[in-house]
Structure 1
Amino acid sequence: MSRTSWVSMAGRLRARCTRTVSTTVDIDRPAADVWAVLTDFDGYPEWNPQIRRADGELVPGRRVTFHLHPPVGPPMRIRPRVLIVDPARELRLRGSLPGIFSGEHWFELEPIDDGRGTHVTQGETYRGLIVPLLGRVVATSLIGFQQHNAALKRRVETVSTGRRREPP
């Protein structure tokens, strides 16, 4: 087999073994308020439908622990490594089973409405040999991200720096 054939085959295999899902939500609060809720692990049990407990420090290179309750399937504990912490802009984590699977999860915060609001993108890129077998898991994760985003929006829009917002 020629080198070109091997490269082409490797590219097709890489494409089959990679899936990305993402979802967005617009939140009627500045990015700093969204970031404060997103990174307040102690507050997660009060609002987060999937992550009932989170422990650790958001420091690049360190691991954090999440106790997940996905929309479908049993509860699980994951320990992703923190990749990027850019306050009020980006949070990126990666978990893996070396050689078999990895998932890179991210939140990107983008100011809208002259900084009064925030466009939040949450997503994950799954890579590895078992990804073609994880169709249901990937589809379910999208549902979980949508539920998480809706809960994040409710929380941020009702709580700002520890105080309840007064209705307009």
Structure 2
Amino acid sequence: MTGRLRAWCTRAVSTTVDIDRPAAEVWAVLIDFGGYPEWNPQIRRAEGELVPGRRVTFHMHPPIGPPIRIRPRVLIVDPGHELRLRGSLPGVFGGEHWFTLEPIDDGYGTHVTQGETYRGLIVPLLGRVIAASLISFQRHNAALKRRVETISTDRQREPS
């Protein structure tokens, strides 16, 4: 694929959120697949182990279209820093999804970036789907923020 065609067949979207809790607390919620049904508006069920090379399963309810099941391969698991997954329809379409966590406020807060790079011959035809994924990421980030900050606040209130 030439450079010009590669650029035409590649789109990336990302969104960020600042969470008023340390990265370890954000990470704990992000990788707790069993807790997803309690807070995640898009991923109603998640299964599998976050081990590089393995696949995980997400039962998704995107903002547009019917519910879908995806099985991306885990690429990177760097606790408290980065989670990266890749899914594909070989030869046609692929997506690399990531979360990065960066400490802010002397480590008390966390800057979370969630994004995806889409590649493949059908990417130019997926404008609505890619735009919807950005909305989905924003909803996910807002829900993640509420969940992490609520759990942390509840823990602080518990008697010792």
Percent pairwise identity = 85
Per-residue deviation at 1:160?
3.0
Name the counterpart of 1:155. 147
Aligned runs of 1:63-74 on 2, under 5 Å? 63-74=55-66
Aligned runs of 1:89-168 on 2, under 5 Å? 89-160=81-152, 163-166=154-157
Name the counterpart of 1:84. 76
Query: Residues of 2 paired with 1:160 and 1:58: CA distance?
Result: 23
- Which among 25, 35, 44 is matched to residue 43 of structure 1? 35
Runs of 4+ in 1 over 6 A off after TM superposition: none
Q: Write the letter of the residue equivalent to 1:74.
A: P
Question: TM-score by structure 2 length?
Answer: 0.96
Query: Residues of 2 paired with 1:134 and 1:16: CA distance?
Result: 12
Q: Deviations over 1:73-116 (max 9, x none)?
A: 10000000000000000000000000000000000000000000
Backbone CA RMSD of aligned residues:
1.3
Per-residue deviation at 1:164?
3.9
Name the counterpart of 1:26. 18
Question: TM-score by structure 1 length?
Answer: 0.91
Per-residue deviation at 1:10?
1.3
Q: Write the letter of the residue equivalent to 1:92.
A: R
Q: Which has the larger radius of gyration?
A: 1
Per-residue deviation at 1:165?
4.1
What 5-or-longer segments of structure 1 have no aligned partner?
1-8
Q: Which secondary structure does the structure 1 equivalent of 2:59 belong to? A: strand
Query: Residues of 1 paired with 2:93 and 2:156: CA distance?
Result: 42
Q: Which secondary structure does the structure 1 equivalent of 2:146 belong to? A: helix
What 5-or-longer segments of structure 2 have no aligned partner?
none
